[in-house]
């Protein structure tokens, strides 16, 4: 893996580190579908502003069905479910469950997309998840006290993320990362907006929005969607679905970083140990990522 990919991975993790906080702020005053609509819309506006810098990206045919599928699986469904989950779930637990995405990505890749995974990847994912548990300081009693429906909703969201990464890698490889990012967020904005119009009064939604909400929407929409999706699809295209999904392991780490910088929160030995486990897991998982190719291709080469 090149340094550019690792730099993009770190930047993405830093941006997404505060996403669960922003979700928490918005879901207190808006229903989950409204939050999904506002987030995707702010992301679309951000990318439209950036179009002059990516003019060369608009070339070739657009596979609409896969793009719409990725848009729904990457925005409408997971963002709605995450907001629903955080109504009765702590951001801490939500970020831990969000870190199951690499597991779903690997499982779906092996079962349905002809992806081979080596022993290092399996060990790396296991080590990384241990690090997540150490950082979160979760206890089984806390997990089982969560409403089962919210718990299942969060896992379903990460399943959608995992499936979307494979669809992107296989069916959208001819599109640029800007096309995929803009198309994905546009699908999310249109689909969630249509549902919101059927269920909510747009005027009431607008009257609810305060400067407090605008700040959260800039954080989760402009940076957490527009900019972050450019980085995310870059990781999928230039790296692999498994590599891109590893960003979810680093999100709790970035959350600790922001807590230390912005809130002067102490960094304990437990946090350092958890960080070491996560970094070890990331290293092990991507040590031989080039082996992660479709089985059909391997058969042709032999």
The pLDDT, as a whole number, for residue 138 is 57
Which comes out higher in pLDDT, residue 196 or 252? 196
Q: Quote the radius of gyration of the chain (alpha carbons, Å).
A: 19
Q: Which of 12-16, 247-251, 271-275 has the lowest mean pLDDT?
A: 271-275
What average pLDDT does the chain have?
81
The pLDDT, as a whole number, for residue 297 is 44
Determine the Cα angle at 126 with ends 121 and 132, to 5°.
Answer: 125
For residue 269, count other CB atoms closer than 10 A to its CB. 7
Q: Which of 67-71, 89-93, 107-111, 276-280 has the lowest mean pLDDT?
A: 89-93
Q: How far apart are CA 237 and CA 174, in angstroms?
A: 10
Q: How far apart are CA 266 and CA 261, in angstroms?
A: 10
Q: What are phi and psi of 294, to 5 degrees?
A: -60, 140
pLDDT in tens, 71-97: 999 999 999 998 888 777 766 667 767
The pLDDT, as a whole number, for residue 270 is 72
62 pLDDT tier (thresholds 50, 70, 90): confident
Its pTM stands at 0.78
| Helix, strand or coil, per DSSP, at residue 294 | strand
Report the percent of the chain where pLDDT is more than 70.
81
The pLDDT, as a whole number, for residue 41 is 95
Cβ atoms of 289 and 240 closer than 8 Å: yes
């Amino acid at each position: 893996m090149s340094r550019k990919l690792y730099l993009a991975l770190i930047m993405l993790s830093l941006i997404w580190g505060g996403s669960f906080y922003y979700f928490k702020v918005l879901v207190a005053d808006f229903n989950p579908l409204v939050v999904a609509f506002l987030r995707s819309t702010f992301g679309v506006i951000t990318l439209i502003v950036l179009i002059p810098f990516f003019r060369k990206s608009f070339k070739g045919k657009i596979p609409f069905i896969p793009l719409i599928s990725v848009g729904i699986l990457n925005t409408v469904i997971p963002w709605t479910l995450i907001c629903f989950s955080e109504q009765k779930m702590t951001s801490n637990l939500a970020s831990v469950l969000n870190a199951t995405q690499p597991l779903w990505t690997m499982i779906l890749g092996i079962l349905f997309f002809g992806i081979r995974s080596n022993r290092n990847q399996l060990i790396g994912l296991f080590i990384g998840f241990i690090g997540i548990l150490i950082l979160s300081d979760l206890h089984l009693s806390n997990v089982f006290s969560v409403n089962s429906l919210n718990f299942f909703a969060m896992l379903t969201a990460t399943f959608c993320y995992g499936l979307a990464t494979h669809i992107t890698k296989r069916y959208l490889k001819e599109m640029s990362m800007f096309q995929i990012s803009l198309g994905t967020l546009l699908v999310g904005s249109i689909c969630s907006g249509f549902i919101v119009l059927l269920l909510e009064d747009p005027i009431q939604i607008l009257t609810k929005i305060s400067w407090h909400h605008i700040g959260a929407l800039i954080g989760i929409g402009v940076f957490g969607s527009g900019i972050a999706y450019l980085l995310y699809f870059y990781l999928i295209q230039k790296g692999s679905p498994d590599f891109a999904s590893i960003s979810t392991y680093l999100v709790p780490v970035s959350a600790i970083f922001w807590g230390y910088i912005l809130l002067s929160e102490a960094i304990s030995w437990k946090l350092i140990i958890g960080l070491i486990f996560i970094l070890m897991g990331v290293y092990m998982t991507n040590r031989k990522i080039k082996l992660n190719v479709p089985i059909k291709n391997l058969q042709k080469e032999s």
